[in-house]
Amino acid sequence: MAAFLELKDICKNLPIGREPVQVLKNISFEVAAGELVCIIGKSGCGKTTLLKTIAGLEKQTSGQILLSGQALNGPGRDRGMIFQEPRLFPWLTLEDNIAFGLKGHVSKAARHKTVTGLLEIVGLKDYAKAWPGQLSGGMAQRAAIARALAVDPKILLLDEPFAALDALTRSKLQKDFLDLWQNTLKTCIHVTHDLDEALTLGQRIIILHSNPGRIVDIISLPLPYPRSPEDPELKSVKKRLLSLFVD
C-alpha cells in the first residue's frame, strides 16, 4: 500500500532539568490510507507524545511528518484527536458539542445533517439534547468520537480512548469503533497499552520501548474481523508481543 502518512526520523527532546532529555528517537514508519495502526508500549515510552506530535499539538525536535506528501507543521482540520477523557463542553448539549468544530465552516443546515448522521452512527440519536453530565462514560466517549468525525478529518488519532472504561463497556466500544472504521475506512492511529486491544483492532502493531521512546518492532496482522482470542495465529502474535515486554 502506498504511504499516506509518513514519519521520517522523528526525534523529540524535552527540557527536563539542566539538560534536555530525549523522549523520542528516530521514529520512522508509514501509514496507508484507510489503515488502522495500533501503537503499543509501556507507560512513559512516548506514545502520547508521538501522537500529539502527529496532531501538531507538539513540535518534534528533528525529523519530518508528511501527509499526502505535504509537511505537517502544526494542528489542522485534517487530523482529529480523541483523548482518554471525552473532554466534552459541559455547557453545550450533545448535538452542540458534536457541531462545535463545524461552526463558521458550513451552513446551519449542513451542520444539522452532519450531526444527525453521526448521532445515528454512534448510537446516540435519542440523546441529541442531553447534557454531558447526563451521559455514561461510554456514551460520552462515543460523543467524542462523533465530534472528531464531524469535521471529516483525513486521520483519526486516538489516545487510549477506552482505557478509563469498565471491561464490558470497553469491549463494546472496541466493537463499535471497529464497525465504524470498517464503514468509514478512516485512517486511524490508535495508541494503547493493552495488548488484547491492539490484537483486536490493529492491522499493524507498532511496538515502542522507552528511554528514549523508539520502535523495536512492527508486526503486520492480516487477519479478518472480528477476531477470536482463540485464533492460533493471534495467540502466536500475542506471545511474540509479550516477549518484547519482558524486562
- Give the model's pLDDT for residue 139: 94
> Does this model's pTM top 0.75?
yes
Neighbour tally for 160: CB within 10 Å: 19
| Contact indicator for 88, 101 with CB cutoff of 8 Å | no
- Give the model's pLDDT for residue 164: 85
Query: Residues 53, 57, 63, CA angle at the centre, nearest 5°?
Result: 30
| Contact indicator for 216, 208 with CB cutoff of 8 Å | yes
- Tens-of-pLDDT digits for all 247 residues of the chain? 568 999 999 999 988 877 889 999 999 999 999 999 999 998 889 999 999 999 999 999 999 999 999 999 999 999 999 998 999 999 999 999 999 999 878 889 999 999 999 999 898 999 999 999 999 999 999 999 999 999 999 999 999 999 888 888 889 889 999 999 998 899 999 999 999 999 999 999 999 999 999 999 999 999 999 999 889 999 999 999 999 887 5
Q: Which CATH class, in words, describes the domain spanning 1-72+156-162+188-246?
A: alpha beta
